[in-house]
Amino acid sequence: MSIVEEIKELKKQRNAVILAHYYVADEVQAIADYIGDSYYLAKVAKGLQEDTIVFAGVNFMGESAKILNPGKTVLMPDITADCPMAHMATAERIAQVRAQYEDVAVVCYVNSVASLKEHSDVIVTSANAMKIVKALPNKNIFFIPDENLGRYIASEVPEKNFIFNDGYCPIHKAISAKQVLDAKAKHKGALVLVHPESIPEVVELADYVGSTSGIIDFATASDATEFIIVTERGVLYELRCKNPDKKFYSVSDSQICADMKKVTLEKIRDCMKDNTGVIEVEDELRKKALIPLERMLELAK
Ligand code: 13P
Ligand code: SF4
């Protein structure tokens, strides 16, 4: 039996479903039941019928799925696949900012551990942050953990006062404006599509700024035929599947999230076979973290 057949068989036995983020390896995206950006995957995770969710992504994604589905088994094929940015804020700093500002909302990017979510007022993803921040009644916004996404949203919502936190995605931070300019010089006329985790100097060069799904949808709907993709290279798989006649270029070889790439077909098979990588969230923490997650799903509708 091939590994793909083994996975199909185990899925049947366990009544399991596989969710995958666009940054995981191509062969993993190819066998997933649902592929998407963080917002899409959170929405999907909430309405699933299956007993077991296998999350092909990084830990905060599986943790969010568990928070939304306490009665289901959530499995991570590699429990060490973690997003460094998810840890780049502290409850102490949140408490400080709350004490300093009267009318403040703590807006927490979904790329965060549950112990940060529990102290936040609302969760956002790159696909819905703008809409949610605009809808909040608060004048002051403490945006955690990603400074770059926070600065991008702030530039689009000038009526609010933002307080930033110094978290970042190492993969997006490593992409420089020079690399993007070099790619533009090499591929004249290609449109530049940028994820907002990128540094402001790179965002400034964009023809379009958006989440991974936003980038894929934009390129698919566009009449243009060549695009420079400024995010993790995993999105190239879906871009090329949907647009076989268009050309997509990356700007550097370092556009790879090593944690996302830890997920392999073998590990997907093994976690279902051996029931490993089980995500547990302690009940008190789960209930507190659920509040801002559900608020996101409501406000983003
Ligand atoms: P989105 O897929 O929501 O754009 O997020 C990017 C990301 O870094 C996920 O880890
Ligand atoms: Fe985290 Fe960046 Fe990897 Fe996304 S690409 S999981 S933000 S390290």
The per-residue pLDDT for range 259-273, each reduced to its tens digit, is: 999 999 999 999 999
The span from the CA of 197 to the CA of 199, in Å, is 7
Q: Is 37 in the pocket of ligand 1 (CB under 6 A)?
A: yes
Q: Which atom of ligand 2 is nearest to the CA of 58?
A: 6
For 50-105, give the DSSP string. Answer: SSEEEEES-HHHHHHHHHH-TTSEEE-SSTT---GGGGSS-HHHHHHHHHH-SSEE
Q: Is 211 in the pocket of ligand 1 (CB under 6 A)?
A: yes
pTM of the predicted structure, to 2 decimals: 0.96
For the chain, 301 residues long, give each residue's pLDDT as a single digit of tens: 999 999 999 999 999 999 999 999 999 999 999 999 999 999 999 889 999 999 999 999 999 999 999 999 999 999 999 999 999 999 999 999 999 999 999 999 999 999 999 999 999 999 999 999 999 999 999 999 999 999 999 999 999 999 999 999 999 999 999 999 999 999 999 999 999 999 999 999 999 999 999 999 999 999 999 999 999 999 999 999 999 999 999 999 999 999 999 999 999 999 999 999 999 999 999 999 999 999 999 999 9
The span from the CA of 98 to the CA of 116, in Å, is 14
User: Cα–Cα distances in Å, from 146 out to 166, 178, 247, 278, 293?
Assistant: 7, 22, 30, 27, 17
CA 263 / ligand 2 centre spacing (Å): 14
| Ligand 2, atom 6: closest residue by C-alpha | 83
The span from the CA of 195 to the CA of 216, in Å, is 11
Q: Is 179 in the pocket of ligand 1 (CB under 6 A)?
A: no
For the chain, how big is the Rg over CA atoms in Å?
Answer: 19
Per-chain mean pLDDT for the chain: 97
pLDDT (tens digit per residue) in 160-211: 999 999 999 999 999 999 999 999 999 999 999 999 999 999 999 999 999 9
pLDDT of residue 47: 85
pLDDT of residue 157: 97
The span from the CA of 68 to the CA of 83, in Å, is 19
Q: Which atom of ligand 1 is nearest to the CA of 21?
A: 2
pLDDT of residue 263: 98
Q: Which of 189, 140, 180 is nearest to 162 (CA)?
A: 140
